[in-house]
Amino acid sequence: MLELRGQLEQEPGSSQRGGQEALRAKLQFVEDRVYQAADGVVADEVLQQWLNDFDKNRGRAVLNIASKNAANAETRIPKDPRDRERWKERKNKEKDAAGETAEGSMARGGRQFRGDAMDYSRGEVEVEARASTSVRPRGVTEGCDAAAAGVAGRGEGEAARERGLDESDEKISRFARFFGAETGYEQVETGGGLPMAEPVVCKKSCEDGDAEETKETGETGRLAAEDRREIKRLRDGSAVRQRWSVRRRTGGAGGDTNRHSGMRVLPYMDDFLVLVDSQREGFLRREKVQLVLHRLGLRRNEKKGHWEPTQVVEHLGLEVDLKLGQFRVTERRVHKIHAKAKEILCDAARNRRWIPARRLASFTGLCQSVYLAVPAARLYLRELYFVLAEKRSWGAKVKISRSARGDLEWWSRLPVMSRWNGRKIWRSPTRAKVHTDSSMTAWGGVLNLKFPARGFWPDEMRCWHITHLELEAVYKTVQAFLQELEGKVVRLYCDNQAVVAMLSHFTSRNPDLMRRMRRLWLLLDLHDIELQARYIRSEANVWADNLSRCEDLDDWRLNRDWFVWANKQWGPYTVDRFASEISAQLPRYYAAWKDPKCEGVDSLTYDWRGENNWVNPPWALLDEVAHKLREEGAAATVVAPYWPGQSWFRELEALATEVVIMPRRRDLFTPSRLGGSELLGPSKWDAVMFFIEARPKVTVGTKIEVFWEDDDCFYPGVVKEFNEDGKAHVLYDDGDEETLDLSKENFKIIHSTDEAANADGENTERSSGGNYEEYKRGGAVQNFLTRSLCERWRSELGPSRLTELAVSMQRKALLDTTKDNYGPKARRFILFCERDQRPWLPASEATVLLYIASLLEDGNIQSASLQPYLSAINNYHEDLGHPAPAKGRSVTRAGKGMATIQAELAEQEENIETQRTWLPAAHVRRVHEAALKFNPGSPEELKLLRALTYVVVAFVTFGRPDTGTSLSRQHVHCGDEEFSVVLLKEKGRRHHRVKRRLTIPWKGVALLKELIEHWEFYRDTAWSISAKTQPDSYWLLPEDPKNFKASVANDWIGLALSELDCRPPEGGHFSAHSTRKGATTCARAVGVTMEKVCFLGGWSQFSSAVQHYIDPTALRDTDMDYYFAWLTWSQ
C-alpha cells in the first residue's frame, strides 16, 4: 500500500489521468479491506491476494508491493549502535533529497494533534477518542513512585530495525498496526475540576510471534518519531483527500464494537491514581497496569502506594474517601500544619512579629496544598500573602500583621476543626438560580426568577464603592433565601465582573473585601451552600436591576421619639407589622419584600393574635388593617393620617381605647428610600395613633362577663352559639338570654377554651384593679415590688439629700439572680390570690396555707423545694413594711405534712423519691471527649456543644449555677500557659461583691484548652454569621434571650448527660448543683486540702456548708486525678 502511495507521490503532475485514477481506486480498495479487518493487522500474503483480486476484477496490471525478504535487513542494518546512527543519518539525507523531509512533516503532524482527537485537517487520518462516562467509582487502585528501569518512549521504527525487520515490511506493518490500534484517550476530572488527558496506549503484533510491545504517548499528543514521519508521508505526499475515522474494533456480539478500553487516571509526576467502578474491575485494571509498567521497562516502588483496590486511600497528602464521598487532609499533614503555625506564632512573639519571608512562604505553600480538602484555605491565606508582598528579598524578614496573626491562629486550630477539614467529591444535583444587583441606593435579588428580595442602603453605606455594594448585595440575598438555598448548589448571576472573579476564587487583594468574603464564606459553609458565580450582562439582569433601582414610596418610618413615647405608654411592642430593614422600629418585623432579617412577607396573611403589634402600614392598606383587627381582636397601635371622613378611620376609632393626634412637623416621617434619616419635608396632614386593646377570641362554651351600663356592673354568662351574622347567643347565670355583637360590647373573659388567648395565663383571670392592674401593665412582679419598696423608703426617709442614696442602697441589695428567682414565685402566689379572691398584700397565714395546699394539688413542686416559694412571699411583705405571713408554726407543719403526703403517694405508686446526687468525674470526662469530637452544623447542635462545654467548665471551676451561666467574655481569659476565670455573682458574697479569680494551668487538665478554643470558635462564628453585635455574655448565642436565669443550668446539664446516656445512681438525679457537688467530692477524694476546696468553691474557711457538698464515701479513681490531681502538686 505504501508503494501504491509512492507511485501517486512520484507522478502528481502526470497527464495519464486514467493511470492516476486506477491507482487511487486500488488504494481505496485496499484501505477499505484493512479497515474492516478484525484486529487491524494484515499479513503480506493477504494484502497481495487482495491486490490480485482487484486486478482480476478491474483488468489492471498487478503492482508489486510485496515486502522484501527480512533476512536482507540483517545485512543492510548495522548491528553496532554507532554505525546504526550513521546509517540513519544517511537514509534521512537521501529522503530529504527526494523531497520527503521527515522532520518537517513530524513538526507539522505534531502540531495538528489536539485534545480529544488527532485531526489532520487535510483529510487523511482522524483518530476519534471518547470521553469516559461520568460513573462514580467505587474503588481506587494507586501506583506510586515508578522508577525508570529501561529506555521508554523509543520510536517503534527504531525498535523494528533493531529486530532486523525489512524497511518495507516495517512500513506495511506500521500502517496496518496504526489502523488496528487500541486507542483510549479520555478525560479525567481532577480534584480541581480541570480536565486531564489519559495517555494513549498503542499495541502492535510482531511478525516473529513475540509478545506485544507497548508504546505510550504523552497527554500532549506526541507520537513516536517514525510514526509521525509515516503519517506525514500519508498526509502530504498523497493526492487523495479522504478523511479516515479509526476506532478500535472488538468481537462483541451484536456489532457493538465502538468502545475503548481506557482507564480513569489522576497522574501527578510519578504518582498515579486509578479509579474503577468495582473491586472486580480493580483487580483487572491492576493486572493491566502491571503489564504496561513491565512493557515500558518501569518498576513500581514496593514500599509506597496502595496496590489493593480500596475505597479509602491516601494520595498526595490527601485522603480520598469514596464511602463518604470526601477529600480530607491526612492526620499527619494536619499535625504538620498545626506545628508549623504554632512555631511561626511563637517566633513572631519572640521577635516582635518579625519572621523570615522564606519560612512564611514555605508555610503558605504547605497550606495551599490542602485546598482540595479545605475549601477555606485560600480565604485564610490572603493576609499572609499580603505580608509576603512587602518582602525586600527572599532572604529578608517580614512583619506579621494582626490580621495575618489571626490567619495563623486559624490554621493552628485546624486539628480540632474537623468540620472545616473535608470537601465533598460529588455535589448534589439540586440547584438554584440567584440573580443579584446593586445600585448606590438599594440592592435586589431574585431566586429562581420567581421570588424577589430587596432593601435600601443606609446613609453610611451610600458612599461605598459599587464593588463593595455588589458583594454586600450577594450576602444579603443569600441571607434572605437561606432556608431555600440550604444544602444546594447555587448558580449566582451578577453583572459585576470583579465580584464574579472574587467569588470564583474567594480571595481579593482588598482587605475590606476579604473581610466581607470571609463572612459570606462562613455563612455558605455553615449552611452547606456551594456558590458558582457567573457573569451576566446588565441588559439581561432585568429583574434584579429593577429591584435595586425602583423606589418604595410607601415605606415611611415614624419619628423615633413618638415611637418611644408610645412604647412606654402602651407597650412593650413585640413586632412591627409593616417595615423594612431600615424603617423597622423593632427587631422583629414583616416586610413587603424579602430581606435577611424580616420574619415574613405580607403580614396581612399572618395571625396577629398573641402579639402587641406596632402597625404603620401603607395608607392604601388601612381598610384591610381595620378589617383584620376587627376580625382577630389583636392588640395593636395603628399609625394613620388624620382623615376623619374615611371609613377605616371611623372603624379604627370604634375599636380604639385611646386616640392620640400627632401634629404635622418636618421630621414626623422619614422615608427609607432616602436612607432612613434624610427628611423629605413637612407632611401635608396631621397623623394619628389608635391604641387598640386585645380582645381574646370567644368560642362556644367561653365564660364571659358582660357590662350592663344601666346597672353599672358585670353579669356572668356562657356563649352558647354564634348565628350567621357572627353574633353570640349568651346565656346568663340568672337564666336570661341575649344575642350580642361582641365586637361592640364591653365584656371580660372568665374562662376560655381558646389556647391562643390563654397562652400567657393572664387573660383567663378576673381583674381586680388597683395595684395588680399596674403590675399587669408594667411587666414583672419584681419590678413592681422594687418600685413599691423604693416609694416606701422615700416616704419614710422624707426630703433629704441622702434619700436617693439610701433608696439606691436598698435597691442594689437585691441581686439580679435573686430577683429572677423570687419574682416568678411571688407572681405565682399573687395569681393564686387573685383567682381565689383573697388579698395578697398583706396576705394572711390562712392564705399561705391554702397556697401550699394548691402547690401540693398541682403536684409539680416537691416539699424539699417549698422554702423558696415561702421566702418569696416573706421577702416582698417585709420589704413593703408588712409582717411575713409564711413564718409561723402552722406553715412549718404544713411543709412537713406536705412531705409526708408526697412520700405516701410515692410508695403507692411504687416510685422512690430521688435525691440530688454528685456528678462523677467519669461522666464529665465522657462529656469532655464528646464535646471535642462534636462539630455542630445547626443552631440546635451549637446549643448542644454549649451544654457539653458548660458541664466541663462548671465542674473544673466549682461554679454555682448562677455563677456559671452569668459568665462574661471579659472575665474568661485563655493565656499561653493557663486558663483563668473571674467569678462575680456568688450568693455568699453578695454583700461585699468580692471578685474571686480561679486559675487553672493548661497542663493541669489535659485537653481543656482545646475544648475552650473549640467552643469559642463556633460561638464567634455564629455571631459573625448573624451580623449582630456580640454581647459580653460568654454563653449567649444569637437565638437566645438577652439574659440567662440560673435555672437554665439544669437544662444544659440535662441535655448534655441525656445525649451521652449518663445516668445517675438509683434513687438520685442530676441537677445544676451536681457539678459543684461532684467537683468538691472529687477534689477531696484525691487529697486536696480543705483550705483549697473552700477557696475553689467560694466558701468561708470556717463554714459548715462545704460539708454538705462532700461525699466522704467516694473512692479515688483515674478520672478524678485527670481533673484535680494538679491541685496536689505543691502539697
State the SS3 of 428-442. Answer: CCCEEEEEEEECCCE
What is the b/e burial string over 903-941, where b = at least 16 CB atoms within 10 angstroms of the residue's CB? eeeeeeeeeeeeeebbbbbebbbbbbebbbebbbeeeee
Across the range 520-531, mean pLDDT stands at 78
- Residues, the chain, total? 1131
Residues in Cβ contact with 297 at an 8 Å cutoff, skipping those fewer than 6 apart = 148, 149, 150, 151, 152
- One-letter identity of residue 919: L
Per-residue pLDDT at 728 exceeds 80: no
Architecture of domain 556-692: 3-Layer(aba) Sandwich (3.40)
Residue 205 pLDDT grade (very low, low, confident, very high; cuts 50, 70, 90): very low
Picking from 350, 124, 71, 341, the residue whose alpha carbon sits closest to that of residue 230 is: 124
Per-residue pLDDT at 127 exceeds 80: no
Residue 21 or 491, more confident: 491
Per-residue pLDDT at 212 exceeds 70: no
Least confident of 547-551, 710-714, 849-853, 936-940: 710-714
C-alpha cell recorded at residue 1129: 502538686
Q: For position 786, what pLDDT does the model report? A: 64
Q: In CATH, which of 3.20.20.70, 1.10.443.10, 3.40.1050.10, 2.60.40.10 is domain 916-1128?
A: 1.10.443.10
- 586-631 pLDDT, tens digit per residue, is 888 898 878 888 888 888 888 888 888 999 888 888 888 888 888 7
Across the range 1016-1039, mean pLDDT stands at 82
Give alpha helix (H) positions in 296-373: 331-350, 357-368
- Concatenate the DSSP letters of all residues of 753-810 into one string: S-TTTTTTS-TTS----THHHHHHHH--HHHHHHHHHHHHHHHHH-S-TTHHHHHHHH
Rounded CA-CA distance 549/413 in Å is 44
Q: For position 192, what pLDDT does the model report? A: 36
Q: Is residue 1056 within 8 Å of 947, Cβ to Cβ?
A: yes
Picking from 650, 625, 627, 624, the residue whose alpha carbon sits closest to that of residue 639 is: 625
Q: What is the SS3 assignment for 963-1006?
A: HHHCCEHHHEEECCCEEEEEECCCHHHCCCCCCEEEEEECCCCC
Residue 758 or 789, more confident: 789
Class of domain 431-549: alpha beta
Rounded CA-CA distance 918/555 in Å is 58
% the chain with pLDDT above 90: 5
- 232-276 pLDDT, tens digit per residue, is 444 444 333 333 333 333 333 333 333 455 678 888 777 888 888
Residue 1044 or 328, more confident: 328
Residues in Cβ contact with 195 at an 8 Å cutoff, skipping those fewer than 6 apart = 187, 188, 189
C-alpha cell recorded at residue 496: 459585576
Give alpha helix (H) positions in 15-116: 17-35, 44-58, 70-76, 81-97, 102-111
Q: Is residue 579 within 8 Å of 590, Cβ to Cβ?
A: yes
Least confident of 398-412, 539-553, 809-823, 827-841: 809-823
- 434-481 pLDDT, tens digit per residue, is 899 888 888 888 888 878 888 878 777 888 888 888 888 898 888 888
Across the range 64-75, mean pLDDT stands at 39
Per-residue pLDDT at 841 exceeds 60: yes
Class of domain 771-911: mainly alpha
Mean predicted lDDT score pLDDT of the chain: 71
Least confident of 134-138, 284-288, 763-767, 1112-1116: 763-767
Q: Is residue 218 within 8 Å of 95, Cβ to Cβ?
A: no
Q: For position 726, what pLDDT does the model report? A: 64
Q: For position 804, what pLDDT does the model report? A: 72
- 32-63 pLDDT, tens digit per residue, is 665 555 444 556 666 677 667 666 555 443 33
Across the range 803-820, mean pLDDT stands at 60
Q: Which residue has the cell 458574697?
A: 989
CA geometry: angle at 72 spanning 67 and 77, to 5°? 110
Per-residue pLDDT at 678 exceeds 60: no
Residue 15 pLDDT grade (very low, low, confident, very high; cuts 50, 70, 90): very low
Per-residue pLDDT at 768 exceeds 80: no
Q: For position 904, what pLDDT does the model report? A: 75
Residue 1080 pLDDT grade (very low, low, confident, very high; cuts 50, 70, 90): very high
pTM over 0.85: no
Just give the CATH number of 703-751.
2.30.30.140
Q: For position 762, what pLDDT does the model report? A: 36
**Among 663-667, 834-838, 1061-1065, which range has the highest average pLDDT?**
1061-1065
Rounded CA-CA distance 505/499 in Å is 10
Q: For position 50, what pLDDT does the model report? A: 67
Q: Is residue 737 within 8 Å of 731, Cβ to Cβ?
A: yes
Residue 198 or 531, more confident: 531
Per-residue pLDDT at 984 exceeds 90: no
Least confident of 388-397, 532-541, 727-736, 1007-1016: 727-736
Per-residue pLDDT at 912 exceeds 50: no
Per-residue pLDDT at 231 exceeds 90: no
Least confident of 91-100, 661-670, 775-784, 929-938: 775-784
Least confident of 387-391, 807-811, 851-855: 807-811
Picking from 469, 524, 464, the residue whose alpha carbon sits closest to that of residue 492 is: 524
